[in-house]
Amino acid sequence: ARPIRLSDYRPPDWLVDTVDLDIALHPTRTRVRSRLRLRPNPQAAGPAAVVLDGDDITPLSVRIDGVPMADSAYLATPDGLTIPQPPAGPFVLEIETEIDPSANTKLMGLYRSSGNYCTQCEAEGFRRITFFPDRPDVMAVYTTRIEADRDEAPVLLGNGNLIEQGDVPGTTRHFAVWHDPFPKPCYLFALVGGRLGARTATFTTMSGRTVALGVYVESGKEERAGYALEALERSMRWDEQAFGREYDLDVFNIVAVADFNMGAMENKGLNIFNDKYILASPETATDADYAHIEAVIAHEYFHNWTGNRITCRDWFQLCLKEGLTVFRDQEFSSDMRSRPVKRIADVRVLRGHQFVEDAGPLAHPVRPDTYREINNFYTATVYEKGAEVVRMLETLLGRERFRAGMDLYFTRHDGRAATVEEFVACFAEAAGTDLSQFMLWYAQAGTPELAVTRRDDAQAGTLSLEIAQVLPPTPGQPSKLPMVIPLALGLVGPDGDDLPIRRAGHGPVERGVLVLTRAAETFVLEGVPAGTVPSLNRGFSAPVKINADLTSDDLRFLAAHDSDPFNRWQAVQTLASELLIENVAVIRAGGAVRHDGGFVHALAAVLADERLAPAYVAQVLSIPSEGDIARDIGRDVDPEAIYLARQALRRALGNDLAPTLRILYERLRQDGPYSPDAASAGRRALRNVCLDLLAAPGHPAAIALAAAQYSEADNMTDRMAALATLALHDTPEREAALADFFERFRADPLVIDKWFALQAMIPDPGTLDRVRGLAAHPAFSLANPNRVRALIGSFAQANHTQFNRADGEGYRLVVDTVLALDGVNPQVAARLATAFRSWRALEPTRRAAARAGLERLAGTASLSRDVADIVERSLG
Ligand code: B3K
Ligand code: ZN
C-alpha cells in the first residue's frame, strides 16, 4: 500500500449529519443496519462520488432515500463502497451488512471477549462494522439501537444517554437505544453487550448536574472494580478544578474486557478498558498496578474534552489529543501523589522508550508527515514526547498564560476537528508571543543534545554557560534547525543554598528558565561566587540529553544539596551511569571493575536523610537499568558486559550498605492493614528496594529474608517484590516460590501474567527454554494480547541479555512468535516486532543475528501491513 501523506490532506467531499445504527447482536451473524444523512461538504471542490471505507465486510443491501440500489449502481470492494453518481444534494443512505464477531481475532471492530460483545474502533475499526467515511474530520450525531438475546447479553451499553429499552415481543430478545447528542468521529463509536456486573455511583458536576457512573466487569469481579470507580470520581473533580472542564452527558460508563489490544479506549460516554487497568484488590494488584489504574482512568476520562469534544482533523494530528491528554493525566497523578516521584517515573519511561525510539530506525516526529499503518504511530514519541512538548509550552509561557491558551483552545475549537497549528496558535494568541520556532518540536524527530561548558570568572563574580545544541539526523531528516529549548536552571551556592539567577545586562531570569533558540549561545550569569554548581534542566524542563562539564565532585555536591528533587535524583543517576559505562569498558577489556566508594557514600547520605520521602529515596536507590546503560553507551552495545557491570555495582551496594538497608527494612515494616495510598506505597517501595539490594550479593540470609517475605505477605506488592528478588537468584527457593505462586493464583489470568513476565525476565541462559515451555503452558494463549505481552513482550523488551543472546536464539524465538501471531492479531504482532528497534546499536555479532531475524520477517510472504511497515522501516 502507498504511504499516506499529511501534505495530501483534503477536506471530505461528503459530510454525515446523523448516523442511525440498528445492530442485532449474534455470535456469528450480527446484522448491522446503518442509516446515514449525507450532504455535500460546502468546503469541497465540487460534485464527487461517495466513497465509503470498509474492511472485510460486504453489503447485503444499499438504498438511497428509501429506494434499493441496483447492484450496478455502486461498487463494493473488500476495502470500500463507492457510489459514483450520488444525488446532487443531501440524501439518506441505508446499508445493511452482516458480520461475524466470533471470528474477529484482530480485536478491531466488533468482537467477543469472554463471550461478551465489545468494540474497538480507533483508529480504523469502524469500517469493519459498516461502510463509512472512516476519518476523524467527519463528525456526526449517533443513535444506536442494540438488540440481543436477553440471556446472552442482559446488559446493553452504547454511547451517550439511554433513551429507550424494552423486549422484542414474541422473542427471547431485548433492545436498548442510546443517543449521543455530541457530534463525534466514528472512531469514538462503541457498544457493549454481555453478562456484566457493575459498581455504580453518582457524581454531581460543578454546575450541579447529576451523572450516573458505572464500572462494568465480568460478573463476580465487582469487588475489584471499586478502586477504578473512585479514581474516576477523582478525575472528574480534578478536571473541573484544574482545567474548568465539566462532564457533559447524564451517564459515564466504563467496561473492562479481558481481550484488548492496548490499555483502554475513550469512546464517548462508554470507555472500554483492558481489565488489567480496572481490576484491583490488595491480594492481586501491586501498588504500581493501582497507580496505573488511576492514571489510565484519568487519561481516558480527560479525553472527553481533549480528543472527543475537540478531536483531530486527521491521524497526523494524533499528538493533539494524545500528547495533551498524557500531559493532563501526568498532572493529575502529580496532584494525587508525589509530584517529584511522578516526574522521575515519567522521565524514566520517556528515556526508556522514547529516547530509544528516537535513536533508532523507527524515529519519527511528534507529528509524523507520512505513514503506511496508523496503528504503528501510537508510540512513545506521539504520547510521551507529545506530553513533554505541551509541558514545555507551560514552562515557556508560565502557568497563567498557559491556562489562558488552554481556555482559548476549549472555547474556539469545541465541537470541531482541529490541527496542531490551531492548538499552538491559541497559546501564541493568549500569551501574545511568537511560537513559530516552537513548531519544530512537532516537525523534527530526534533528541536534542546540549553541550554545556562553564567558565567561572571569580574576580567578576560571573559564571558563563556556553550552550551548544545538536539534533542528530533521523530517517528522512538528515539536517535540522535549532529548536527553542526552555532550560530551567538552578545555581547551587557553595553553602548548598540556591542563589538568585541574574543575567549580566538582562536582570533576573524569569522563573529561572533560560530560553535557548540558537545552535550555540552563551549566558553570562552575575553574582555567582566561586564554588557555585549549576543545576541544569531542573525538573527535566526539556526532553534533551545534557553533556555538561560537571565533575564527580560537582555531581556529589548536587546529590547532597540540590533543592530540585529531580536534579538531586539525576545527579545520583549520572554518577552511577558514568561508573557503569566505565566498568562496561573494563569488563569488555578483560579487566577488573572499579569500586567507587564515593558513589556508595553519596547513596548512603541520601539514605540517611530522614527528611526525604521513602518513595523518593527508593527512586534514588534504583540505579540505571540495563536499557538505560545501553542507551547511554549508544553504539557497539554488549548486553552481557552491561549486565555484569550492573550486577557488580548492585552487589557492592548490597554489601557496603547492608547494615543501613537492614535497619530500614525493619523500620519500614507495614503496621496496619494494606492501603494503596501513595505514602504507604512509598514505604513498601523503599523497603522492597532495600530487600533487593540486600539479596544482590546472594547471601543465604538475605535469600531467606526474601523467601519469608514472599510467604508472609498480605498483599501483592510485597509478595511480587519478594518473588522478583528471588527470581534473580538460581536457588531452590526461587523454584518453590514460583510453583507456589502459580497454584495460589491459577484461576486469575491477570495475576498469572505477572508470573509469566517475571520468568521471562530472568537473566540467565535457561530462560530461553523456560519461555518456550511457558508458551506451551495451558494458561498461555496467542489469542490474548495480555498473555503475549506478559511472556513474549517481557522477554523481548525487558530481558536484555537473553533476548540479545549471542547465538541469536532469543531473536529467533521472538521472530517465530511475530510470525505465528501475525495471522491472528497483526497489531499486537507489529508491536512485538518493535523489540528489534535498537539492533543497529549492538556489537557486530548480535547486530548480524538481529538483522538476520528482521530479514527473515521481511522475506515472509503475506506479512500484514502492520508488521511489514515496522520491519521495513527497521531495516531501512
Ligand atoms: N486512544 C486509545 C488508543 C487507540 C490505539 C489504536 N491502535 C487509547 C488512549 O490513548 O487513550
Ligand atoms: Zn489517549
Strand-pairing partners, residue 21, are: 34, 144
Ligand nearest 136 Cα, by number?
1
- How far, in Å, CA of 245 to CA of 748, rounded? 38
According to DSSP, residue 306 is labeled B
pTM over 0.80: yes
Q: Is 288 helix (H, G, I), strand (E, B) or coil?
A: helix
Within its chain, how far is the Cα of 73 from the centroid? 46
**What are the backbone angles phi and psi of residue 247, rounded to the nearest 5°?**
-75, 155
Ligand positioned closest to the Cα atom of 264: 1
Q: Which ligand is nearest to the CA of 263?
A: 1
Residue 417 CA to ligand 2 center (angstroms) comes to: 16
Residue 721 contacts residue 737 (beta carbons within 8 Å)? no
Grid coordinates in use for 268?
464517548
CA 541 to chain centre: 20
DSSP-H helix ranges across 674-803: 678-695, 700-712, 716-727, 732-745, 749-760, 767-775, 785-788, 794-798, 800-803
DSSP 756-786: HHHHHT--STTHHHHHHHHHTSTT--TT-HH
Question: Do 650 and 690 meet the contact criterion of CB atoms below 8 Å apart?
Answer: no
- First-residue to last-residue Cα distance in the chain: 17
Contact criterion met (CB below 8 Å) for 687 and 668: yes
- Nearest-CA neighbor of 231 among 215, 216, 249? 215
Contact 381, 129 (CB under 8 A): no
Which amino acid is it at 35?
R
Our mutation pick for probing the ligand 1 site, out of 188, 254, 261, 265, counting the most ligand atoms within 8 A of Cβ, is 265
Cα separation of 180 and 161, whole Å?
6
Contact assessment for residue 131 and residue 54, using Cβ atoms and an 8 Å cutoff: yes
Q: What is the DSSP letter of 437?
A: G
Please answer whether residues 762 and 642 qualify as being in contact, where contact means their C-beta atoms are separated by less than 8 angstroms: no
Residue whose CA is at the smallest distance from ligand 1 atom 5: 122
Substitution candidate for ligand 1 out of 266, 305, 381 with most atoms within 8 A of CB? 266
> Is the Cβ–Cβ distance between 287 and 305 less than 8 Å?
no
Question: What is the rounded distance in angstroms from the CA atom of residue 525 to the CA atom of residue 456?
Answer: 10
Q: Are 630 and 637 in contact (CB under 8 A)?
A: yes
Asked whether the beta carbons of 873 and 362 are under 8 A apart, the reply is yes
Cell numbers representing residue 224 in the block: 475489584
Task: Give the Cα separation of 422 and 445 in Å (integer).
Answer: 21
Residue at grid coordinates 509478595: 719
Q: What are phi and psi of 173, to 5 degrees?
A: -105, 160
Pick the residue whose CA is nearest to atom 7 on ligand 1: 375
**How many CA atoms lie within 13 Å of 26's alpha carbon, on the beta-carbon side?**
12
Is residue 528 within 8 A of residue 496, CB to CB? The reply is no
Number of CB atoms found within 10 A of residue 636's CB? 11
pLDDT recorded at residue 78: 80
**Quick one: which ligand is closest to 188's CA?**
1
Our measurement of the distance from residue 596's CA atom to the centroid of its chain's CA atoms, rounded to an integer in Å, reads 36
Q: How far is residue 707 from each of residues 192, 682, 685, 722, measured CA to CA in Å?
A: 44, 22, 17, 7
Task: Please tell me the predicted confidence (pLDDT) of residue 513.
Answer: 98
Instruction: Show the domains of the chain with their CATH numbers.
Output: 4-194 (2.60.40.1730), 311-443 (1.10.390.10), 449-538 (2.60.40.1840), 746-876 (1.25.50.10)
Question: What residues flank ion ligand 2 with Cβ within 5 A?
Answer: 322, 325
* Phi and psi, residue 564, nearest 5°: -90, 115
Q: What is the pLDDT of residue 604?
A: 96
Residue indicated by cell numbers 493532563: 328
User: Which atom from ligand 1 is nearest to the alpha carbon of 322?
Assistant: 10
Measured distance CA(84)–CA(242) in Å, rounded:
50
Rounded to the nearest angstrom, the distance between the alpha carbon of 187 and the centre of ligand 1 is 10
Residue 273 alpha carbon to ligand 2 centre in Å: 12
Phi, psi of 661 (to 5 degrees): -60, -40
Q: How far is the CA of 378 from the centre of ligand 1 (A)?
A: 7
What nine digits make up the cell of 62? 444499499
Query: Residue 98: phi, psi to the nearest 5?
Result: -130, 135
Q: What is the dihedral of CA 677, 683, 687, 693, to 10 degrees?
A: 100
Q: H-helix or E-strand containing 97?
A: strand 91-99
Backbone CA torsion sign across 305, 309, 315, 317: negative
Which residue's CA is minimally distant from atom 2 of ligand 1? 265
- From the CA of 326, the nearest ligand is 2
pLDDT digits (tens, 9 = 90+) for 2-43: 899 999 999 999 999 999 999 999 999 999 999 999 999 999
Query: Which residue puts its alpha carbon closest to atom 4 of ligand 1?
Result: 122
Would you state the cell numbers that stand for residue 453, as one nine-digit string?
561548558
Residue nearest to atom 10 of ligand 1 (CA): 322
pLDDT for res 2 = 85
CA 190/CA 94 separation, integer angstroms: 20
Among 262, 320, 326, 381, residue to substitute to test ligand 1 (most atoms within 8 Å of Cβ)? 262
Alpha helices in 562-699 (DSSP H): 565-588, 597-608, 614-621, 626-633, 639-656, 658-667, 678-695
502 CA to middle of ligand 1, Å? 44
What separation in Å is there between the alpha carbon of 264 and the centre of ligand 1? 7
Are the C-beta atoms of residues 602 and 620 closer than 8 Å to each other? no
User: How far is the C-alpha of 191 from the C-alpha of 25, rounded, in Å?
Assistant: 10
251 with 269: CB under 8 angstroms? yes
CA dist list (Å): 46 to 11, 17, 331: 11, 19, 46
Helix (H, G, I), strand (E, B), or coil: what is residue 459?
A: coil
Nearest to 466 by CA among 506, 523, 508: 523
Active-site annotation, residues: 300
The single-letter DSSP state of residue 498 is B
CB-CB contact of 180 with 142 (8 Å): yes
Q: Residue with the nearest Cα to atom 1 of ligand 1?
A: 265
CA–centroid distance, residue 266 to ligand 2 (Å): 7
- The overall longest dimension of the chain from CA atoms, in Å, is 97
Taking CA atoms only, the protein residue closest to ligand 1 atom 8 is 265
299 CA to middle of ligand 2, Å?
A: 6
State the pairing for strand pair 507-508/533-536. Answer: unpaired
Over the range 467-490, which residues count as b (16 or more CB within 10 Å of their CB) and which as e?
bbbebeebeebeebebbbbbbbbb
Task: Give the Å distance between the CA of 575 and the centre of ligand 1.
Answer: 37
Residue of the nearest CA to atom 3 in ligand 1? Answer: 265
Residue whose CB lies within 8 A of the most ligand 1 atoms, among 107, 277, 322, for a mutation test: 322
Give the angle 157-162-163 at the CA atoms, nearest 5°: 140
By CB atoms closer than 10 A (0-12, 13-18, 19+), residue 784 is buried
| Nearest CA among 557, 548, 421, 427 for reference residue 495 | 557
315 C-alpha vs ligand 1 centroid, how far in Å? 12
Q: Are 818 and 829 in contact (CB under 8 A)?
A: yes
pLDDT confidence of residue 401: 98
> Is the ipTM reported for this complex over the cut 0.85?
yes
Identify the residue whose C-alpha is closest to ligand 1 atom 9.
265
- For the chain, the C-alpha Rg in angstroms (whole number) is 28
The rounded distance, in Å, linking the Cα atoms of 253 and 214 is 5
Cell of 504: 549580566
**Helix 626-633, helix 565-588: angle, nearest 10:** 70
For residue 320, which ligand has an atom nearest its CA? 2
Distance in angstroms (rounded) separating the CA atoms of residues 103 and 212: 34
Indicate which atom in ligand 1 lies nearest the CA of residue 122.
6
Q: How far apart are CA 388 and CA 645, in angstroms?
A: 32
Ligand 1 atom nearest residue 261's Cα = 7
Phi, psi values for residue 811, rounded to 5°:
-65, -40
What residues of the chain score a pLDDT lower than 50? none
Pocket of ligand 1 (CB under 6 A): 122-123, 262, 264-266, 299-300, 303, 322, 375, 378
User: Which mutation among 122, 271, 276, 317 tests ligand 1's pocket best, with the greatest number of atoms within 8 A of CB?
Assistant: 122
Cα 821 from Cα 826, distance rounded (Å): 7
